[in-house]
Structures are given as C-alpha cells and as structure tokens.
Amino acid sequence: MARTQGSHSGITGPRVRDAALKLFAQHGYAAVSMRQIAREVGVQAGALYNYTPDKQSLLFDLMQTHMTELLAACADMPDGGPPIEALENFTSLHLRFHSERPEEVFIAYMELRNLTPENFTKIEALRRSYEDGLETILRSGVSSGDFEVSDPKIATMAVIAMLTGVNTWFREGGRLSLEEVEQIYWDMVRKAVGA
Amino acid sequence: MARTQGSHSGITGPRVRDAALKLFAQHGYAAVSMRQIAREVGVQAGALYNYTPDKQSLLFDLMQTHMTELLAACADMPDGGPPIEALENFTSLHLRFHSERPEEVFIAYMELRNLTPENFTKIEALRRSYEDGLETILRSGVSSGDFEVSDPKIATMAVIAMLTGVNTWFREGGRLSLEEVEQIYWDMVRKAVGA
DNA sequence: GTCTATATGTCGATAGAC
DNA sequence: GTCTATCGACATATAGAC
C-alpha cells in the first residue's frame, strides 16, 4: 500500500498530543509556544493546525480526556460493599491512577485558569462529579455508623487534597514503593474519617 | 514640602508589587505582561523599571517575602509544650496564615517552575525549612508516644497538602467560618496522626 | 519619576506551493 | 500532510526628553 511521502495521519496526531502534554506540564500552557510543540514533534508550526484548530483545544482535550478516564475508572469500581471497603477502593484507585499520570494531573490542577470560560465550566463539572463520588461514600459511612465525620463535604476536599499531594513528591524508584505509599495513606485516611 | 509632580516614591513601589501579586495570581506569571501590570498601577510600562530590574525579580520577591513571613510566624509559635499542642498550634497557624493570603499562597505553589534555577533553589530551601518544622513536631510526638505515625516524612507531606487544600475552596462569608474550618481540620489531623 | 518612542524579538494563526 | 513565508499583534527592556 503506497503512501504519500510525509503522510503520517494517525501517528503525528498522537505525537502532537504527547508533545503538548509534556511541554505544558513542564513549562506551563502560557509559556509554551506552538513552535516549541512543533519542534518537539519534528514538524513546522503550520503543520500542527492539521491536528488541532488552535492551542486552546490542545489544552482542553488533554484535560477532558484525563477527567473522563478518571471517571470511567471510578465507574469500574465494585460497589455495594461496606463503606470502609468503598473508601479503601477509592483511596487505592486515586493513588494509582494519579501516580501513573503525573503530567496529566499536574496540568489538570495548574491550568484551569487558562481554559476559556466555556471549557472551564465543562472541566469543572467533571471534577465536581469525581468529588461527589467520594462524598457519597463518606455520607453512607456516616449513615451506617462506620465513619465519624462532622462535615462530609469538607472531609471530601481534605481527603482528595491529601491524596493528590502525593504527586508533588512521589517518584518511582524512590525510598518507598507505590504499594507502601498506598498502605501509609490508607492508614491516615481511615483514621482521619474515624473508621 | 514641594514635590516634583508625578513623583510617588514610596507609594508607587508597593503598588507595583500589589498589581503583580493580583495579576500573577489571577492569570499566571507567564500570561501577564509588564504592560498589564503598568495599566493596573496607572503608569506606563517603562516606569515599572524604576521599581524592579525585571519581571522575574517581581515574581521572586513576592515568593521570597511570603515564605520568609511564614517562617517568621512559625518562629513566633510557643514551643516546649507537649507535641499535641505543638501540632494544634501548627495546624491553626497554617490555616490562618494561608487563608489570609490566598494570592501569595497560590503563586507560591503554582509559579515555582517560572523561577530561574537560582531563584528556585532559594525558595525551595525556605519551603523545605517549613516542612521540617512540622516533621520535627511529628517525630517528637512519636518519640513521646503521643502520636502513631509510621512515616513522619510522609505524614508531614500529607498534613500540609490537606491543610493547604483549604485554599482551593474556602471563602470568607461562605457556609463555614474560619474558626469552624479550623475545628474540623484539627479534628481530622489529630485523628490522622493517631493522637 | 514618568513619559514617549523604539530596538529586537516572538507570538498564534493563515495562505499557498508542492 | 508538510513546507515556507508572512500578517498583525504583542512581548521585554532600554534611551532620552521633560
């Protein structure tokens, strides 16, 4: 099957996405130019516009894909078990999912203000949906008497902030394995909610 | 005392600082131009260079001042008491200090990568010093048998992340007062470290 | 101390050849 | 699909008049 020389449809697209992911995470959306992204991919700047209508869409797609995959992973969790198991599953999922995608996570938290208002609203809704998942677990644990939480909404924010903070220091091959980190954090989360 | 018309030494300087603080926090360092800062202050762009050698120094000064004031506030804390009191003092100080300075806190966490390597090293050292303060408290509590913490360094990062996360949602005049928030977080911190 | 004007360079995005 | 070339706007920082 002959191909037009220089044609890389289906391969250059993902490379543009990967380059944007890497560079946005490293230097920040506003500090990265389309020319930098093109250089990373190995094409000229003009060629990028075959794969994205503009720079903003590049950012939005990265964030939307990330949040959608996170919510899909949540939906795959077993449910129906006792609240303490649901909370342990949530903790484990959050730590694993986030540690596997440090660049996506970094962008999702740091570049919210560089989204257009319309795009911000969409991403914010996805994030809120994720938080609601944890809040539901905490409320069910309070109802069943398994948890001692005075304010489930605050506890939700506190637990997510604590878990997401792992990304600021955790590196594979460091002092602790991910499994050890999971154990330590689950211990703190469990105690913090009085379980 | 006659003054040269247009001379505002001692007043324009702080206004430049305040404008940079506000705009960097709102849009991000890389996205803010010197012209925007000048417009906010009410002068032309060229006049800014009477108060700062360049844009980078504006950012560095904001972060350095913030971290230095944080460490000074820590140094003013009473010490010598039992670990649980030291931890409660730390929690209270962190929440109050950070809630009073949302813009400085935001910049200190978001703009680290926009510092030159030399400036980054200096700010990083100040941040590390702050973390060491909490770690020392946790270790002393473990030694005295007041805390149950398997890894003081991880617990330090977890507590700071949890507390700093308050800034992402807390607004004065909202559902909860700062005092209520302090109470809820102290309860979670206390339980998380097994005190 | 602030102004206007400018040097020098980069930006996002597009047009048209191949 | 990628290239070169370019438009118009904007960036940081400086020079020199007042």
Same domain, B72 and B164: yes
User: Residue A2 has what pLDDT?
Assistant: 34
Mean per-residue pLDDT of chain B = 95
Average pLDDT over residues A113-138: 98
Same domain, B174 and B84: yes
Check whether B194 has a pLDDT greater than 90.
Answer: yes
Check whether B9 has a pLDDT greater than 70.
Answer: no
Same domain, A21 and A78: no
Same domain, B143 and B73: yes
For A27-65, what is each residue's pLDDT tens digit?
A: 999 999 999 999 999 999 999 999 999 999 999 999 999
Q: Are A97 and A70 in contact (CB under 8 A)?
A: yes
Distance A20 CA to D3 C1' (A): 21
Same domain, B125 and B143: yes
Contacts of B156 in chain A (CB under 8 A): none
Identify the closest residue of chain B to A115 by CA–CA distance. B27
Same domain, A46 and A117: no
**A63-101 burial string, b = 16+ CB within 10 Å, else e?**
bbebbeebeeebeeeeeeeebbebbbbbbbbbbebbbeb
Identify the closest residue of chain A to B27 by CA–CA distance. A113
Interface test with A, best of B95, B188, B191 (most A CBs within 10 A): B188
Per cent of chain B over pLDDT 90 is: 93
Q: B144 CA to chain A: closest CA distance, Å? A: 19
Same domain, A169 and A159: yes
Average pLDDT over residues B83-105: 98
CATH (domain of B150): 1.10.357.10
User: Residue A5 has what pLDDT?
Assistant: 43
User: Residue B57 has what pLDDT?
Assistant: 97
Same domain, A7 and A31: yes
Identify the closest residue of chain B to A148 by CA–CA distance. B188
Q: Determine, for residues A162 and B165 on separate chains, whether the beta-carbon distance falls below 8 Å.
A: yes
Q: Which of A150, A151, A191 sits opposite B194 (nearest CB)?
A: A191
Distance B34 CA to D12 C1' (A): 8
CA separation for the pair A25, A22 (Å, rounded): 5
- The whole domain housing B7 covers 1-52
User: Residue A59 has what pLDDT?
Assistant: 98
**Which residues numbered 154-193 in A keep a CB inside 8 Å of some CB on B?**
154-155, 157-162, 164-166, 168-169, 176, 181, 184-185, 187-189, 191-193
User: Residue A20 has what pLDDT?
Assistant: 98
Check whether B139 has a pLDDT greater than 80.
Answer: yes
User: Residue A8 has what pLDDT?
Assistant: 58
User: Residue B79 has what pLDDT?
Assistant: 84
A166, with CB counted inside 10 A (0-12, 13-18, 19+), is buried
For A10-36, what is each residue's pLDDT tens digit?
A: 789 999 999 999 999 999 999 999 999
**Which residues numbered 51-110 in B keep a CB inside 8 Å of some CB on A?**
110
Same domain, A38 and A130: no
Q: What is the band of B10 on the pLDDT scale with cuts at 50, 70, 90? A: confident
CATH (domain of A4): 1.10.10.60
Average pLDDT over residues A161-170: 98
Identify the closest residue of chain B to A182 by CA–CA distance. B154
Distance A46 CA to C17 C1' (A): 14
For A81-124, what is each residue's pLDDT tens digit?
A: 999 999 999 999 999 999 999 999 999 999 999 999 999 999 99
Tell me the CA distances in angstroms from A129 to A70, A123, A126, A168, one per residue in order. Answer: 10, 10, 5, 23
Domain count within chain A: 2
The verdict on B150 touching A (C-beta cutoff 8 Å) is yes
For B37-66, what is each residue's pLDDT tens digit?
A: 999 999 999 999 999 999 999 999 999 999
Q: Determine, for residues A161 and B157 on separate chains, whether the beta-carbon distance falls below 8 Å.
A: no
- Would the Cβ of A47 be found within 7 angstroms of any atom in strand D? yes
User: Residue A7 has what pLDDT?
Assistant: 53
Same domain, A179 and A157: yes
For B17-33, what is each residue's pLDDT tens digit?
A: 999 999 999 999 999 99
User: Residue B4 has what pLDDT?
Assistant: 41
Same domain, B28 and B68: no
Distance A55 CA to C13 C1' (A): 10
Same domain, A86 and A153: yes
User: Residue A126 has what pLDDT?
Assistant: 98
User: Residue B109 has what pLDDT?
Assistant: 96
Nucleotide nearest to B55 (CA to C1'): D12
